């Protein structure tokens, strides 16, 4: 017998292996080498979380009790997947177009980004998933128990609850570590997907090997198995048409609506074409998983002593034959089925809870709403972590309350029936434009309540949560309200009864209310976008006019997406509009894209609410509604083409006018430059002339001579410095500069710069915020020139930062081969109109005397950075003046560096 410690060690090694795989996958993805991480096979394997411990252990138990009926659970999904062209393809297309984060988000987004619907779906999903998670904990505990009970030397199993608690805790840690590492814009978890793909292989292999062993090891091949089936208690096939149809339907509905399935199928989908592979490969996987179920059940029934739990045949069959290695493999298969399901379910549910319950609540409670600056990102991540812990705690609570006694299959089906309540609204939402949010909310609620009343509560048994009297005679003696015989229809199987009534009343309410109610404009437009998702023209827009300040939007986006992501997005959008800086024009298109991007992180409803605070009154105009109402698709298409063309023209015009404006500015500057330079040269010249004339006077006292000579000397130094700067600039501008390339540590360079800049306005106390560990990056460049840029930026901050307690934050980041260094002070920043000019020569924002320089500093910085193969730019929206220096960590090519 395998000692308990070794079993635990095997589990731990397995989990560590998963950690390593998940970690390696995340690493690869971060380096941009997604490649096979996102292959159709990995996608298909990740779908296998449909097969939980319920499949692994429960299917055999189910087959041993009711024969072939177990197969319905896999036939339903098979039909859905071979019919991918009809439903799944549309779901995935919508999921990608709308950046849907969860099934609750899909429903909420379809019906006018209504958060109420998001909450309703979230509640249904959490309530329905709780028993399912409990089921996984139970099966792992049971399988530990199998090893314990057979132990001759009697190592005592820590009682069941203890095991379940350890499993739940461990899973929570794993899920939090890999499920909430980042608030990904499109909510993808490479590490987790890779880990569950590996688990899919483990559980399939384990079941197949146990099956092969059973058929050819225990029995005598296929003929013998057929004979054993014919002689077994399940030789006859007691097919009940109602249950056969009902269960197939229920399983098909569940594969579409289970939050964890939606997560891997739609949210984690990287390419629609993967669905084509999954359409046959996933049914194949299901078939292989079911292939040996009946043989194992029959052989178990014939070999094992009477009264053995059929739910554990997969384990007990090899154990009884003394095949310990095989039993351990089977144990690992069950363990991996349970863990992968719990991990993905917890991620999916936590996303829903945080996006639809916690974040909206927090935003509405906080004064100032989304406008107040703050770290929404941290909040969302934290709420997800807490939700994961909470969901596992719920599962554990259910497990310890229910005592974990019922047969595995029964609990799973209750869950299925719960999530199936979402099906009518989901299908209605993607195929019927007339479906309204009010109908959806009422339909879902009715279905949910009926499900709770007829199936969930009675599942605790008479005397559990419903009294036996109520079950027998109905509430207050109303016989027609008996939970298991609504409207006096008796004799139906309780599960079928519940599924039938909950889904029909749900669908009826949904359709009826939809027919009678009016949708609001946003709902109409989302309906159009969902139902007609295959039309390639630009979808209807939610925002007709911009009306928001780009800088405000950037500040908000940074709070959600993180500074680097948000800046990258804004810069890319600005570049697409033909603008060179960080802030794009707030066109309706741009706002729409931003909203979708935010929706990828916090869900459609929250993202819409946040954007609405900035673009108040600008949502949906009458024109947009006309566009929605118009059935003339061709006109729309034609106008879309025109729009694309006119957009192109507008972009060119914008570029031209920007260039023109810049030219005009430059010409003004050139004049200014000439007069400036004459002025700058003239002032010292004048004083030199004046004082030298005085010096010519032979009667001048000695100390006066000394003093005037000093003034002349100082003025010449100033002149020389000015001329040096000018020469430096012209050398740099003509790319004639000799770079002195060295290897250095960026941290040392920054230290040198801070040190050197400290004699600028030394009387001010100046606080630096630096993250020292991140600064240790090796860099190959002309270090002296780079330090010159740093010194310039730091002294500028020291000179111009007008805060009472000046502070400077230096942020270093490395992305691929590029290093960015941000210098952000807490002053009042640079006005928008001046932001474009500061890098020009003699551009000084304040008067000369205060600045004490010639206004060439930033111009020189810019030229240096160009020579180093990098850039320097002004970074808006950081709450002060902020400059970003970006450069490659090594010269791009030797030749370039020398030239």
Per CB under 8 A, residues contacting other proteins are 67-68, 71, 75, 78-86, 226, 229-230, 232, 234-241, 244-245, 248, 273, 276-277, 279-280, 283-284, 287, 290-291, 294, 531-536
User: Of 238 and 463, which CB lies nearer to other proteins in the complex structure?
Assistant: 238
Per-residue CA distances from 809 to 211, 402, 767, 812 (Å): 63, 55, 9, 10
* 3-state class (DSSP) for residue 874: strand
User: Of 5 and 634, which CB lies nearer to other proteins in the complex structure?
Assistant: 634
As given in the structure block, the two tokens for residue 805 are 């307690």
Residue 613, Cβ density class (10 Å: 0-12 exposed, 13-18 middle, ≥19 buried): middle
Instruction: Output the smallest distance, CB 214 to other proteins, in A.
Output: 14
User: Of 27 and 273, which CB lies nearer to other proteins in the complex structure?
Assistant: 273
Instruction: Output the smallest distance, CB 279 to other proteins, in A.
Output: 5
Q: Which residue has the tokens 């599942």?
A: 459
Instruction: Output the smallest distance, CB 233 to other proteins, in A.
Output: 10
Instruction: Output the smallest distance, CB 409 to other proteins, in A.
Output: 18
Q: Report d(CA 733, CA 727) in Å as an integer.
A: 10
The angle subtended at Cα 467 by Cα 462 and Cα 473, nearest 5°, is 95
User: Of 292 and 614, which CB lies nearer to other proteins in the complex structure?
Assistant: 292
User: Of 234 and 789, which CB lies nearer to other proteins in the complex structure?
Assistant: 234
User: Of 291 and 780, which CB lies nearer to other proteins in the complex structure?
Assistant: 291
Instruction: Work out whether strand 741-745 and strand 778-782 pair parallel, antiparallel, or are unpaired.
Output: antiparallel
User: Of 78 and 544, which CB lies nearer to other proteins in the complex structure?
Assistant: 78
Q: Report d(CA 408, CA 756) in Å as an integer.
A: 72
Instruction: Output the smallest distance, CB 641 to other proteins, in A.
Output: 14
Instruction: Work out whether strand 882-888 and strand 871-874 pair parallel, antiparallel, or are unpaired.
Output: antiparallel
Per-residue CA distances from 14 to 173, 198, 436, 513 (Å): 15, 11, 48, 52
Which helix (H) or strand (E) element contains residue 745? Answer: strand 741-745
Instruction: Output the smallest distance, CB 540 to other proteins, in A.
Output: 14
User: Of 77 and 562, which CB lies nearer to other proteins in the complex structure?
Assistant: 77
Q: Report d(CA 756, CA 735) in Å as an integer.
A: 26
Q: Where are the beta strands (DSSP E) in 356-484?
A: none
Provide the β-strand partners of residue 770: 810
User: Of 223 and 322, which CB lies nearer to other proteins in the complex structure?
Assistant: 223
As given in the structure block, the two tokens for residue 324 are 């310990």
* Nearest CA among 767, 784, 781, 772 for reference residue 747: 772
Instruction: Output the smallest distance, CB 666 to other proteins, in A.
Output: 46
User: Of 235 and 465, which CB lies nearer to other proteins in the complex structure?
Assistant: 235
User: Of 426 and 566, which CB lies nearer to other proteins in the complex structure?
Assistant: 426
Give the torsion through C-alpha atoms of 596, 598, 601, 605, to 10 deg. -80
Sign of the C-alpha dihedral, residues 419, 75, 241, 407?
A: negative
Which helix (H) or strand (E) element contains residue 573? Answer: helix 563-576
* Nearest CA among 281, 113, 279 for reference residue 197: 281
Instruction: Output the smallest distance, CB 636 to other proteins, in A.
Output: 12
722 CB-near residues (< 8 Å, 6+ apart): 680, 681, 854
Instruction: Output the smallest distance, CB 211 to other proteins, in A.
Output: 13
Q: Which residue has the tokens 């729009």?
A: 643
Q: How many CB atoms lie within 10 A of CB 144?
A: 24
Contact by Cβ (8 Å): 498, 247: no
User: Of 56 and 285, which CB lies nearer to other proteins in the complex structure?
Assistant: 285
């Amino acid at each position: 017998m395998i000692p308990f410690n070794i079993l635990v060690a095997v589990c731990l090694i397995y989990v560590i292996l998963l950690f390593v795989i998940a970690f390696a996958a995340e690493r690869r993805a971060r380096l941009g080498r997604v490649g096979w991480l996102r292959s159709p096979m990995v996608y298909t394997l990740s779908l296998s979380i449909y097969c939980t411990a319920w499949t692994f252990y429960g299917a055999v138990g189910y087959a041993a009790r009711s024969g072939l009926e177990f197969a319905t659970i896999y036939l339903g999904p098979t039909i859905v997947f071979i019919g991918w062209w009809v439903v799944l393809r549309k779901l995935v297309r919508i999921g990608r177009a709308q950046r849907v984060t969860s099934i609750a988000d899909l429903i909420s987004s379809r019906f006018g980004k209504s958060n109420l619907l998001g909450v309703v779906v979230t509640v249904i999903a959490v309530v329905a998933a709780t028993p399912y998670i409990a089921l996984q904990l139970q099966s792992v505990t049971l399988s530990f128990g199998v090893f314990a009970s057979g132990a001759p030397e009697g190592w005592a199993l820590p009682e069941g609850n203890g095991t379940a608690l350890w499993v739940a805790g461990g899973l929570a840690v794993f899920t939090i570590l890999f499920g909430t590492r980042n608030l990904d814009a499109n909510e993808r978890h490479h590490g987790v997907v890779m880990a569950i793909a590996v688990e899919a292989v483990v559980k399939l292999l384990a079941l197949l090997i146990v099956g092969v062993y059973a058929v050819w090891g225990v029995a005598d091949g296929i003929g013998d198995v057929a004979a054993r089936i014919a002689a077994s208690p399940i030789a006859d096939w007691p097919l009940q048409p109602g249950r056969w149809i009902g269960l197939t339907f229920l399983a098909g509905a569940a594969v579409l609506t289970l939050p964890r399935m939606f997560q891997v199928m739609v949210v984690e989908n990287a390419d629609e074409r993967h669905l084509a592979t999954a359409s046959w490969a996933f049914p194949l996987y299901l078939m292989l998983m079911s292939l040996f179920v009946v043989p194992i059940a029959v052989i178990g029934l014939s070999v094992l002593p009477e009264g053995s739990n059929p739910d554990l045949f997969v384990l007990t069959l090899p154990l009884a034959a003394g095949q310990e290695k095989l039993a351990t493999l089977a144990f690992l298969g069950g363990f991996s089925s349970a863990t992968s399901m719990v991990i993905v379910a917890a991620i999916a549910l936590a996303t829903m809870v945080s996006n639809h319950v916690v974040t909206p609540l927090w935003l509405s409670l906080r004064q100032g709403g989304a406008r107040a600056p703050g770290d929404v990102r941290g909040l969302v991540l934290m709420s997800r972590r807490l939700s994961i812990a909470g969901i596992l705690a719920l599962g554990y609570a259910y497990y310890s309350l229910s005592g974990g006694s019922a047969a595995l299959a029964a609990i799973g089906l209750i869950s299925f029936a719960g999530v199936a309540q979402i099906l009518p609204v989901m299908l209605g939402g993607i195929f019927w434009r007339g479906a309204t949010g009010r109908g959806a909310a009422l339909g879902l609620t009715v279905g949910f309540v009926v499900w709770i009343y007829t199936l969930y509560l009675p599942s605790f048994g008479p005397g559990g949560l419903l009294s036996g009297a109520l079950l027998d005679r109905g509430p207050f003696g109303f016989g027609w309200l008996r939970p298991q015989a609504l409207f006096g229809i008796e004799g139906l199987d309780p599960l079928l009864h519940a599924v039938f009534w909950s889904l029909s009343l749900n669908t009826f309410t949904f359709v009826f209310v939809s027919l009678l109610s009016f949708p609001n404009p946003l709902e109409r437009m989302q309906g159009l976008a969902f139902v007609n998702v295959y039309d390639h023209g630009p979808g209807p827009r939610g925002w007709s006019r911009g009306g928001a300040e780009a800088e405000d939007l950037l500040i908000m986006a940074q709070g959600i997406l993180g500074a680097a992501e948000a800046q990258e997005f804004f810069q890319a959008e600005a570049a697409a509009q033909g603008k060179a800086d960080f802030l794009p024009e707030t066109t309706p298109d741009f706002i729409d894209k931003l909203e979708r991007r935010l929706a990828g992180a916090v869900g459609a409803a929250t993202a819409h609410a946040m954007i609405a605070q900035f673009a108040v009154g600008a949502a949906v105009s009458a024109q947009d509604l006309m566009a929605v109402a118009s059935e003339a698709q061709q006109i729309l298409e034609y106008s879309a083409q025109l729009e694309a063309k006119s957009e192109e023209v507008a972009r060119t015009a914008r570029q031209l006018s920007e260039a023109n404006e810049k030219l005009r500015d430059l010409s003004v500057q050139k004049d200014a430059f000439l007069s400036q330079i004459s002025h700058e040269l003239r002032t010292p010249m004048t004083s030199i002339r004046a004082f030298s004339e005085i010096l010519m006077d032979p009667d001048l006292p000695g100390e006066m001579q000394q003093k005037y000579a000093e003034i002349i000397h100082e003025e010449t130094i100033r002149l020389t410095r000015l001329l040096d700067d000018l020469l430096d600039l012209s050398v740099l501008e003509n790319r004639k500069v000799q770079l002195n390339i060295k290897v250095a540590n960026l941290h040392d360079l920054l230290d040198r710069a801070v040190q050197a800049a400290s004699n600028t306005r030394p009387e001010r106390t100046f606080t630096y915020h630096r993250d020292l560990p991140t600064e240790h990056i090796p860099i190959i460049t002309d270090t002296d020139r780079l330090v010159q840029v740093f010194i310039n930026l730091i002294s500028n901050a020291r000179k111009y930062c007008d805060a009472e307690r000046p502070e400077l934050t230096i942020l270093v980041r490395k992305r691929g081969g590029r290093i960015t260094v941000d210098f952000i002070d807490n002053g009042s920043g640079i006005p928008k109109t001046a932001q474009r000019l500061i890098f020009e020569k003699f551009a000084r924002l304040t008067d000369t005397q205060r600045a004490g320089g010639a206004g060439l500093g930033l111009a020189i910085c810019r030229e240096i950075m160009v020579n180093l193969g990098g850039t320097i730019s002004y970074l808006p929206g950081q709450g002060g003046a902020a400059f970003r220096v970006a450069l490659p960590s090594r010269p791009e090519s030797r030749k370039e560096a020398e030239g």
